[in-house]
Amino acid sequence: MSIISEFKEFALRGNVIDLAVGVVIGGAFGKIVTSLVNDLIMPSVSVLISSADFKSLSAVLRPATIGADGKETMPVILLNYGAFIQTIVDFTIIAFVIFIAIKAINRIRRQQQPEAPVPVEPSEEVKLLTEIRDALKKQGA
């Protein structure tokens, strides 16, 4: 088998195509969730914490150093905890939405699965044959 035909077989396999579709949809879904967080949730949180921009929340680890000539010799070092918190919120929302989606899919699958068949009681003939078999076993033992 040539390398091109092997690659074609690999690339056209159902799992690879499903994975590619999942990656594309996941990227688009990520953009939707990012917009949800950035444009709807974080402004509300910013109002609650009295900050205009949640991403700008930071702590100064080392202030900037200004030289005698008025120029900055060493830049400020910031701990940008606001961006980190926003990333955690993004992750939490994405994980929650995926959890809800999987829960809904599992519920649909359970509804589509046929129920276990109810055991049918054996007919009178089968019961009689079972009794005869059991009686013959007792006589032979």
Domains and CATH numbers, the chain: 3-117 (1.10.1200.120)
Alpha helices in the chain (DSSP H): 3-11, 14-36, 42-48, 81-112, 124-140
pLDDT of 1: 67
Q: Tell me the residue type at 52.
A: A
DSSP string, 108-139: HHHHHSPPPPPPPPPPHHHHHHHHHHHHHHHH
37: how many CB neighbours lie within 10 A of its CB?
21
Query: Which pLDDT belongs to residue 4?
Result: 86
| The total number of residues written for the chain in this structure | 141
**What pLDDT was estimated at residue 52?**
59
Low-confidence ranges of the chain (pLDDT < 50): none
Of 99, 101, 93, the closest CA to residue 37 belongs to 93
